[in-house]
Structure 1
Amino acid sequence: MNYTTGTGDLQHWLVSEDGFRTEWLGKGEAVFSLGNGYMGLRSVTEEHYANEKRNSFVAGTFNKFAENEVTELPNAADILWMEFKLNGIRFDLTQGTILTYRRTLNLKKAELVREVTWQSPDGNVYDLTFRRFVSMAHLHVIAQRVTITPKQDSTLSLTSGINGQMTNSGVQHFLEGTKRLYDGRFMQQIQTTTESGIDFVFHSVHRFHQRESIEPMSIIKMDRRQIFFDYSDVRIPANETLTIEKYSTIFTSRDHDMTADTTEELASFALNATREVEAKGYDRLFADHVQAFDELVWSRTPITIRSKDMFDQLAIRFAQYHLAVMTPKHDNRMNIGAKGLSGEGYKGHTFWDSEIFILPYYTYTNPTIARSLLEYRYLSLPGAHRKANENGYDGAMFPWESAWLDDGEVTPIWGAADIVTGEATKIWSGFIEQHITSDIAFAAWQYYHVTGDQDFMDRYGYELLIDTAKFWASRLEWNESENRYEINQVVGPDEYKEHVNNNAFTNYTAHWNIQKAIEYVELLRREKPELYERLNEKLDLQATETRFHHVLDLIYLPQVREDGVLPQDDTYLQKEIIDLTKYKNQENVGSLFYDYNLEQVNEIQVSKQADVMILMYLLEDLFSAEIKRSNWEYYEPKTLHDSSLSLSTHSVLASDLGDQELAYDLFRRASEIDLGPNMKTSDAGIHAASLGGIWQAVINGFGGVRMTSGNLLISPMLPKAWDELRFPIAWKGETLDIWATHDQVTVTRRSPSTKPLVIEVYGEKQTILDTFTSEVLSV
């Protein structure tokens, strides 16, 4: 991987690959993946290779293969597929000689470009350039452009079309479907998912240019789940260029804006749309795409870092790029998968990653998208109610893994091999990792206080916060001997500890959830009586409120010991302490399980990821700086960061503690999860939550932006490597531009107002009409 290829206007905008090795295909396929939130394409090459993983996903189109499996995003037909023969020899980078090679993702333009000079086994030489993009302006459109310039007179044969033989690691989610050719040029394939019954309609059409438009000799072919053209005897004189353009579209019956009542109407609509797409041409489509991407990301949320190592600037742009291409901003029935739309990992399911690690990016930069993601949780309440009921509880018990709105819990039951027993390890998260319910409540509360979106609270927010609290009030278990309510047999954020009692993160956030619900029930009764009555009918607020008041002060909250350490759960601090040095210095995550199984790890003081520490990040006003430091010093050495969620959280906390260099080191390590030199980390897809965490490390950590008790705090503390940080944030319906150096911070209201804005800068309240500048204070 090469991160220094950009120059001029593209400096720190390009992520490149300078070598081709089939054993490392997964890295580039994920890191270079393209998308627009509606769909995502793993960036395989046009031609096929061993070890590739050809994935195309459309958000929200979940399907279940069999009753004993869980629903997943189906791997849709491959429309990138193109096979070339030059002078009768297949273009294959494992054969012949690669004279030059570079593949580059242009983050600014969201375009993938592969440039190759290839000498075939017969000694002939060809320059080939492959371009593609997934349009941000036209969500259903994929466009490819290939140019071939031979050094000698040559002929080309091309096979290209739609390949519906794709599987999810062997599982075929589609029925055979139908295939047809229209106008002698437009290939159409229709397939339907086997269980969810979603129609997919694919179209592809080609154009050829050689000085002027040409129509090569061709024959249309169909095979099982395939339709394709064979083009033959396309003559290319030496040093002249042949250009091939391929325009493809994907539509589904799940599309939010689709009014077609039948498969035939959907197919007809999609065909006409594809005709219009081809008529626009590549350059027009690309210009529209670049403009739409810029308006969504780069002009709206520019982040500028002036660093001694400008990889840092590239890293935050890489994070923003992928956050844009993975997020289904077009449809509130959908959310973000743990691998975005870049791979089969985690089956496209949504976790707490979305609310705790990704949502803050949108809450502070594009509240419209943040609201849509939260509305997904509201719309999925029926599944949360069903899970609560099945477990004997009340209220909304959100699934650990979510897919389509009414799917409910979709966490697989069995996972990796147990190194000791040789059996599959049971995945308990879907049963007892329950903190996600309060995580969602926290995210809704945070969104409201940052944006001031009262309409969201009236329509969704109050109900979410009260319904989730209703679950916790029913989940509590009475301990007669201790005269308190407890939460037992859970998995906390540290997933290396299962079936624990009184996990601090779970208990504190459940208590917080109930406390906020009490506040809002009282507010509704006092200030919004009509809304109170409506929710009273749905949630029985009178009885629920009585239960809330009864349990609140009786919930057991683990207390800080004399040494300042907050017990992670009832038994963590009594478990065995071992030397974790080799696991802390591991090259690949999870190396602990080469030596221990999960049952043994459960008895060791070792954590997968931040647990107590993320509690002190989210509910930071409950804990003093001294307590945070004591817990950092105790838990950080025992945390292996085996989850990509962990490093960014610790980076923010290190900033809070005034250790900017450690914070910077952790930020860099988080940035290198996908971008780093390890060529196997991203095979299953990019790490979506880590990318949101990188933004938090920059903005909440080094930028010092926080919201506590409804107030905005800004206290930037840059690492030594940085000279300057500039970024915007959304706050209460307006945009603030923050510029921080080592000496001062300036906060500017992008639209000055006569209404004063009160914020805290380094702990001191400041009133801002247009611009405020403060000297940097040490923490």
Structure 2
Amino acid sequence: MKYDLGTGEEKNWIVAESSFSSNLLGKAEAIMSLGNGYMGLRSAAEEPYVGEVRNLFVAGTFNKSDVMEVSELPNAADVTRMNIYIDGERLDASVRTEDYVRALNLKTAELRRSFIWTTSAGKQVALKFRRFVSLDNLHVIGMQMELEALSDDVHVSVESGVNAQVSNSGAQHFFEGEKRIYDKKYVEMVARTKESLIDFMFHTVHHVTLAGSKLNDPFMRMDRRLIMLSYKGTLAKGQKFSLEKLTTVHTSRDKAFDGLTLKEMRDRALSTLKKCAAKGYEGLFAQHVQAWEQKVWKQYKLNIESEDVFDLLAARFALYHLTIMTPAHDERMGIAAKGLSGEGYQGHSFWDTEMFILPFFIYSNPEVARSLLIYRYLGLEGARKKARSNGYEGAMYPWEAAWPSDGEMAQEWGRVDIVTGKQTKIWTGFIEQHITADVAFAVWQYYKVTGDQAFMDDYGYEIIFDTARFWGSRLEWDEDRGQYCINDVIGPDEYKEHVDNNAFTNYFAHFNMQLAIKYYSRLKESDSAVFHRLNEALDLDQAMEAWMECIDKIYLPQPGEDLVIPQDDTYLTKRIIDLTKYKNQTHVNTIFEDYSLEQLSDIQVSKQADLMILFYWLEDKFTHDVKIANYNYYEPKTIHDSSLSLSTHAILANDLGDRQLAYRLFRQACEIDLGPEMKSSDLGMHTASIGGIWQVIVMGFAGMRMLHGELRMDPKLPEHWSKLEFMINWQGQRLEAEITKDRLVIEAMDRVPVELEVYGKEYRFNDVLTINLAEAKGERD
């Protein structure tokens, strides 16, 4: 992979590969994926290769391929494959290729590929490909291909169309559907999912020229789940074959299609394609670029002046993927753990959204954050279903979510145990329960940052109350301790199963219930219609009695003499081994080559941050000395086998004054997808890590935090950064900040008064605030 190919205006905008390997396809397919939140297109090459993964996903279109399977996003028809022949020889870029470059331009969200290929007979052709998924019109995919004869006359044959002979790793989600070609030009395929009965409509059109002349009347081929058009011709030296392909994708889930018949939907979709065809690739692409400039690069102002150009590229890469992974257009959909870039985790939503991705949108685009939280509100139906089925009250959020109403979607069986040879049971869907409090915490964070009272009245209070009702029923009385405990759980550290009193879980459950008590009292005192509605629906008066009885008796693990807080009841009693081998691993999960998951349960080793996340989000509950002691104890035992881990450790390292370690961990987080390990992203992007990159920059290095509803900034930039610029939204107003080694400048764009704490000192401003950081820090010290 190459990250320095961009020059001039494209500097720090280009993610590229400068050679082709048919054995290492997955990374580039994923990190160069295209999308717009409505759909995601994995960037497989136009010509096919063994081992490729051709994915097109449309957000929120879950389906079960069989009653024994969980719902997953179905892999939709492939519209990018082209069968390209030169003098009868199939194009194969893995052999006899020169000047190969495939590059994703983050600024324009366009994928380009070019190379010179030599046939086995020694004839040379130059090929160029372009591709984008429109952010202006969410249904549009644009493609271009150009082939030039460089040495001799060549015969060219290109076959292109819609290929629905695809699956999700073998699972077929669609009925065969219907196929049509209108006027020998407009291709239509309609397919319906087998269980959820969602209609997908694919329309595509080609514009082909040979040596400047338009090619008409292609050869048309139909087969099962397949429509292909073939274009052929002979090129003299210096002549070009050009193909432009425009495709639209619609589904019966689209809000614009509510209430329409299938025929009406098809007619509208076909009409959209014809309008797109009139604009052509360049016209559509220009609108797409403008949308990216206005909706992303101007909206999410972020700039880093660093001695290492990789830092700014990584920041832009994060903003790019945060945009293409997020279904901002529809509150019925959440963010998948792999975005829309791969089949990993079946397109399900995890706690990744609330704890790692949502903070970006809360501070950068509250409207999108609101939509993602409404998805969780709609998920109360499934959460209540899960609570009832487990014998609890209230709302128990699923570890893996698909349709909001479905409840738990986690699979029950996973990897093979290396000791027993038997398949390992996956317990996360049963006992990793902290996600319920994570959702409530996200609601609270959104409310405090935005002040969106209407959201709380309509959605937020109900989530907080019903999740608190779950925790009230989940607590177990421990006679020996004389306290309420939470037993038999998995905390964020998933290498420790069936533990009692995971500190993160207990503290967040306590926070959730405290929040419910506070809001119950506030609403009851106001005697509002909101209170009466929720009291009637959830019996809050009775719930409040239960909360008050147990809130001060919940066991919250405390620091010992060495200031170390036990991660759970038994972690500190487990044996310690030398983890150097696994701390220095080049790829994750190498520990499973030596130990089973059951064996790991008896070792002081952590998959990812656990207590560190607690110190980050509930920072005021722990002293500085306690944080240092625990960081020093747990970080050496954490092997970061989860992509969620590094960003949290980076932020904590920066908080605790180790800026060199903080930057090193930040760099490692960026390199999970952008790094040299070519197999790291085969299953799709690490979306939580992408959100974590933004958090390290803004909430770590810039020190921007919200605590008890108050805004603060305690900047600690990496030594080799000379400037950081970013924006946030605070209480409905856009703030733009610039941090250098010497000063902080922050502007209130709407000229509404803002209160801000910097290094412990309070400031109030309504236009531009300039602070000498050395003086401010000196005053605090």
TM range (shorter): over 0.9
Q: In the TM superposition, what are the counterparts of 1:721-740 in structure 2 within 5 Å?
A: 721-740=720-739
Letter in 1 for 2:83: E
Unaligned runs of 5+ in 1: none
Letter in 2 for 1:449: K
Say which SS state the counterpart of residue 335 (structure 1) adopts: coil
Corresponding residue for residue 460 of structure 2: 461
Q: Contact 1:758–1:768 (CA<8 Å) still a contact in 2?
A: yes
Letter in 1 for 2:748: R
1:141 equivalent in alignment to 2:140: yes
Letter in 1 for 2:757: E
Q: In the TM superposition, what are the counterparts of 1:216-365 in structure 2 within 5 Å?
A: 216-232=216-232, 234-365=233-364
The 1-side partners of 2:154 and 2:22 are apart by 27
Q: Contact 1:55–1:343 (CA<8 Å) still a contact in 2?
A: yes
TM-score, normalised to structure 2's length? 0.98
1:33 equivalent in alignment to 2:30: no
The 2-side partners of 1:225 and 1:296 are apart by 37
Corresponding residue for residue 706 of structure 2: 707
Say which SS state the counterpart of residue 235 (structure 1) adopts: strand
Report the CA distance between 1:212 and its aligned residue: 4.6
The 2-side partners of 1:516 and 1:400 are apart by 22
Say which SS state the counterpart of residue 257 (structure 1) adopts: helix
Report the CA distance between 1:206 and its aligned residue: 0.2
Report the CA distance between 1:262 and its aligned residue: 2.4
Corresponding residue for residue 580 of structure 2: 581
Corresponding residue for residue 94 of structure 2: 94
The 2-side partners of 1:90 and 1:117 are apart by 14
The 1-side partners of 2:475 and 2:316 are apart by 44
The 2-side partners of 1:730 and 1:527 are apart by 29
TM-score, normalised to structure 1's length? 0.98
Corresponding residue for residue 770 of structure 2: 773
Letter in 2 for 1:184: K
Q: In the TM superposition, what are the counterparts of 1:505-544 in structure 2 within 5 Å?
A: 505-527=504-526, 529-544=528-543
The 2-side partners of 1:378 and 1:626 are apart by 38
1:446 equivalent in alignment to 2:445: yes
- 2:760 equivalent among 754, 763, 775: 763
Say which SS state the counterpart of residue 406 (structure 1) adopts: coil
Q: Deviations over 1:33-59 (max 9, x none)?
A: 000000001000111001100111000
Q: Contact 1:385–1:395 (CA<8 Å) still a contact in 2?
A: yes
The 2-side partners of 1:451 and 1:278 are apart by 42
Q: In the TM superposition, what are the counterparts of 1:622-661 in structure 2 within 5 Å?
A: 622-661=621-660
Report the CA distance between 1:84 and its aligned residue: 1.1
Q: In the TM superposition, what are the counterparts of 1:6-21 in structure 2 within 5 Å?
A: 6-21=6-21
Report the CA distance between 1:302 and its aligned residue: 1.8
Q: In the TM superposition, what are the counterparts of 1:108-257 in structure 2 within 5 Å?
A: 108-151=107-150, 152-210=152-210, 212=212, 214-232=214-232, 234-257=233-256
Say which SS state the counterpart of residue 130 (structure 1) adopts: strand
Q: Contact 1:207–1:213 (CA<8 Å) still a contact in 2?
A: no
The 2-side partners of 1:188 and 1:448 are apart by 45
The 1-side partners of 2:407 and 2:155 are apart by 55
Say which SS state the counterpart of residue 24 (structure 1) adopts: coil
Report the CA distance between 1:131 and its aligned residue: 0.1
Say which SS state the counterpart of residue 174 (structure 1) adopts: coil
The 1-side partners of 2:229 and 2:404 are apart by 39
The 1-side partners of 2:526 and 2:9 are apart by 54
Q: Deviations over 1:510-556 (max 9, x none)?
A: 00100010000111112252110011111111111111111101111
Q: Contact 1:415–1:425 (CA<8 Å) still a contact in 2?
A: yes
Say which SS state the counterpart of residue 652 (structure 1) adopts: helix
Report the CA distance between 1:229 and its aligned residue: 0.8
Q: Deviations over 1:55-98 (max 9, x none)?
A: 11000111111222111111110000111112222211134x10
Corresponding residue for residue 744 of structure 2: 745
The 1-side partners of 2:149 and 2:311 are apart by 39
Say which SS state the counterpart of residue 281 (structure 1) adopts: helix
Letter in 1 for 2:246: Y
Q: Contact 1:576–1:605 (CA<8 Å) still a contact in 2?
A: yes
Pick closer, same or farther for the CA change 1:242–1:231 going to 2, 3 Å.
closer
The 1-side partners of 2:755 and 2:218 are apart by 69
Overall identity of the aligned pairs, in %: 54
Q: Contact 1:394–1:471 (CA<8 Å) still a contact in 2?
A: yes
Q: Contact 1:260–1:266 (CA<8 Å) still a contact in 2?
A: no
Q: Contact 1:616–1:623 (CA<8 Å) still a contact in 2?
A: yes
The 2-side partners of 1:140 and 1:377 are apart by 25
The 2-side partners of 1:397 and 1:656 are apart by 33
Q: Deviations over 1:716-750 (max 9, x none)?
A: 11111211111011100011111111111111112
Letter in 2 for 1:400: W
Say which SS state the counterpart of residue 627 (structure 2) adopts: helix
Letter in 2 for 1:447: Y
Say which SS state the counterpart of residue 711 (structure 2) adopts: strand
The 2-side partners of 1:758 and 1:188 are apart by 57
The 2-side partners of 1:447 and 1:311 are apart by 31
Q: Deviations over 1:675-722 (max 9, x none)?
A: 000000000001000000000010000010000100001111111121
User: Which runs of at least 4 in structure 1 moved beyond 4 Å after TM superposition?
Assistant: 210-213
Letter in 2 for 1:76: A
The 2-side partners of 1:240 and 1:624 are apart by 72
Q: Contact 2:79–2:163 (CA<8 Å) still a contact in 1?
A: yes
Q: In the TM superposition, what are the counterparts of 1:480-629 in structure 2 within 5 Å?
A: 480-527=479-526, 529-629=528-628
Pick closer, same or farther for the CA change 1:500–1:58 going to 2, 3 Å.
same
Say which SS state the counterpart of residue 60 (structure 1) adopts: coil
The 1-side partners of 2:320 and 2:709 are apart by 29
The 1-side partners of 2:264 and 2:219 are apart by 27
Deviates more, 1:689-698 or 1:150-159: 150-159
Q: Contact 2:211–2:235 (CA<8 Å) still a contact in 1?
A: no
Q: Deviations over 1:452-471 (max 9, x none)?
A: 11111111111111111110
Deviates more, 1:209-218 or 1:561-570: 209-218
1:475 equivalent in alignment to 2:474: yes
The 2-side partners of 1:2 and 1:380 are apart by 41
Letter in 2 for 1:303: L
Q: Contact 2:215–2:231 (CA<8 Å) still a contact in 1?
A: no
Say which SS state the counterpart of residue 71 (structure 1) adopts: coil
Report the CA distance between 1:481 and its aligned residue: 2.8
The 2-side partners of 1:135 and 1:724 are apart by 32
The 1-side partners of 2:627 and 2:304 are apart by 28
Q: Contact 1:383–1:407 (CA<8 Å) still a contact in 2?
A: yes
Report the CA distance between 1:153 and its aligned residue: 2.7
Say which SS state the counterpart of residue 393 (structure 2) adopts: coil
The 2-side partners of 1:220 and 1:263 are apart by 25
Q: In the TM superposition, what are the counterparts of 1:15-94 in structure 2 within 5 Å?
A: 15-94=15-94
The 1-side partners of 2:701 and 2:310 are apart by 16
Deviates more, 1:151-160 or 1:760-769: 151-160
Say which SS state the counterpart of residue 26 (structure 2) adopts: helix
The 2-side partners of 1:211 and 1:526 are apart by 79
Q: Deviations over 1:292-327 (max 9, x none)?
A: 111121011121111110100000100110010010
Q: Contact 2:162–2:228 (CA<8 Å) still a contact in 1?
A: yes
Deviates more, 1:350-359 or 1:744-753: 744-753
Q: Deviations over 1:158-205 (max 9, x none)?
A: 111100010111111111111111122111111111111111111111
The 2-side partners of 1:359 and 1:412 are apart by 25
Say which SS state the counterpart of residue 239 (structure 1) adopts: coil
The 2-side partners of 1:308 and 1:40 are apart by 34
